[in-house]
Amino acid sequence: SQQGEEDPQALSIQEGENATMNCSYKTSINNLQWYRQNSGRGLVHLILIRSNEREKHSGRLRVTLDTSKKSSSLLITASRAADTASYFCATDYSGYSTLTFGKGTMLLVSP
């Protein structure tokens, strides 16, 4: 399977702390994307990082990509209770015309 793997499967932190989630994948990619899913809702796109990029920021989000290790990380700084959700990485594998989603990390941010 080409599916990516997120780590950890679940993460519980306090408001104000930082949350880091990791994603590993298997073969060469065009890009890697991160999505958030609140309970009972659809997925929302957060950030896209291309294979020739190493780091990208969007507000409190920071994504890194290490193509030599085939891994990416999503950092959420100064977390809030509203950040509680599942976070998925999705890989756009070269030669494959759609995204492959990982199993997700469930993040719980307690007030």
Partner 1 sequence: DTAVSQTPKYLVTQMGNDKSIKCEQNLGHDTMYWYKQDSKKFLKIMFSYNNKELIINETVPNRFSPKSPDKAHLNLHINSLELGDSAVYFCASSKTSGRAGSYEQYFGPGTRLTVT
Residues near partner 1 (CB under 8 A): 29-31, 33, 35, 37, 40-45, 48, 50-51, 86, 88, 90, 92, 94, 97-101, 103-104
C-beta closer to partner 1: residue 97 or 111: 97
Nearest one of 92, 101, 98 to 5, comparing CA atoms: 101
Q: How far is the CB of 103 from partner 1 (least distance, A)?
A: 6
Q: How far is the CB of 102 from partner 1 (least distance, A)?
A: 9
3-state secondary structure of 54: coil
Q: How far is the CB of 82 from partner 1 (least distance, A)?
A: 18
Nearest one of 110, 106, 102 to 70, comparing CA atoms: 102
- Going by their DSSP bridges, the two strands 105-110 and 55-58 should be labelled as unpaired
C-beta closer to partner 1: residue 50 or 80: 50
Nearest one of 37, 42, 18 to 89, comparing CA atoms: 37
